[in-house]
Amino acid sequence: MSARLKNAFVELVSIPESHIAGIVVHASQSNLEKIKQAISLLPGSEIHAVSPEGKMVVTLEASRSTVIADQLSAIHALPGVYSASLVYQHHEDIEALDQEIRDEPDASKLY
């Protein structure tokens, strides 16, 4: 890899980011409490809903997509988890989160 390409890559990966992912977890009812506890120990995790059948709606927040992928894999590997499916993922540069979004009075100018 050339020095120029390497410097561009280092600059790119050093941009602070915020990632959020929505996942659905389907787990054994008998292990549900242990699974909920394990998920809640993951940094940036939040359980929003749990059904009596063992389905959970979970969000994960992290600074890199690789962290989200690792957490999703860790949840899927928990004993009693049937599936952990990524439903949504979004990321923003941290700087972009501080930008003001103007209200557009003319809906035709919205994209």
> Per-domain residue ranges for the chain?
16-92
Q: What are the pLDDT digits (tens) for 23-70?
A: 999 999 999 999 999 999 999 999 999 999 999 999 999 988 899 999
Rounded to an integer, the average pLDDT of 83-91 is: 91
CA distance 95 to 73: 29
- Is residue 98's pLDDT more than 70? no
Please give the share of the chain, as a percent, with pLDDT higher than 70. 70
What is the model's pTM?
A: 0.71
What's the chain's average pLDDT?
A: 83
- Is residue 99's pLDDT more than 90? no
Rounded to an integer, the average pLDDT of 75-96 is: 86
Where is pLDDT greater, at 82 or 100? Answer: 82
CA distance 60 to 21: 5
pLDDT band at 97 (very low <50, low <70, confident <90, very high): low
What is the dotted CATH code of the domain comprising 16-92? 3.30.70.920
